[in-house]
Amino acid sequence: MGSERMEMRKRQMSVQQESVAGTTAPAQNEQPGQGNRGSNACCFCWCCCCSCSCLTVRNEDREERNRRASYDLKAEGNADFEESLKPTAEEVLLWGQSFDQLMHCPAGRSAFRQFLRTEFSEENMLFWLACEEFSKETNKSVIEERARIIYEDYISILSPKEVSLDSRVREVINRNMLEPTSHTFDDAQLQIYTLMQRDSYPRFMNSPVYKNLIKTVSEQLVES
């Protein structure tokens, strides 16, 4: 009886030792930190790739904003320069003769733009001015870039400064945008010019803005 118990205890101890050896063997074969190094390396590579991609996108966005800001500042700078001009008595009187006389005069465009601002249609003048500047460009790469900016700012239906153009002119612009030239917006510029001449110019002639200018220059003529 005693020998049987002793034999059973020996078998239990042998089983326990084998179980302990089986669980500790993988831990001995595995180098410290080896498993973590693999996952960390993958994570590191992924983070690096992600960071590089994000950095590239941010740089491209920054360059795009800088290009757009540079072009907007140039266009706005010309408009602001015109706003600083003071018209002569002769110029103000000529504006009343025709819309062409008004638009050919920088001070006239400035006064008319201020009037359009009160009617919430200043984008028509801004678009016309942008087209005037654009038509003078000769560099192909610059033409393509500025054509896209003008399209996004004044032609796109998503823009808050979208100008009113009929479907025919929009189709012409869309075709022209495939290979932009300095004449891409000629039809649109003419249509906006005609719109301002027909709708806005008569109201400008009867507006307090123009009447005050007439009064001011009349007083200057009397004093002189």
pTM of the model: 0.65
pLDDT tens column, 69-85: 555 555 555 555 455 57
Which CATH number is 93's domain given?
A: 1.10.167.10
pLDDT of residue 9: 59
- Residue 72 to residues 66, 120, 137, Cα–Cα distance (Å): 10, 19, 15
Q: What angle do helix axes 122-134 and 140-150 make, rounded to 10 degrees?
A: 170
* Structural domain boundaries enclosing 95: 89-223
What letter represents residue 224's amino acid?
S
Sites in the chain below the pLDDT cut of 50: 20, 23-47, 81
Give domain status of residue 93, yes or no.
yes
Burial class (CB in 10 A: 0-12, 13-18, 19+), 18: exposed
pLDDT of residue 71: 53
- Tally the domains of the chain: 1
| Token couple for 165 | 């153009």
Give domain status of residue 19, yes or no.
no
d(CA 195, CA 97): 18
Give domain status of residue 175, yes or no.
yes
| Token couple for 146 | 């500025």
Give domain status of residue 16, yes or no.
no
Rg for the chain, CA atoms, rounded: 38
Give domain status of residue 112, yes or no.
yes
DSSP state of 85: -
pLDDT of residue 152: 98
pLDDT of residue 43: 46
Give domain status of residue 49, yes or no.
no
Give domain status of residue 145, yes or no.
yes
Question: 145: closest CA among 76, 56, 78, 64?
Answer: 64
Count of Cβ atoms closer than 10 Å to residue 139 Cβ: 10
pLDDT of residue 165: 98
Give domain status of residue 33, yes or no.
no
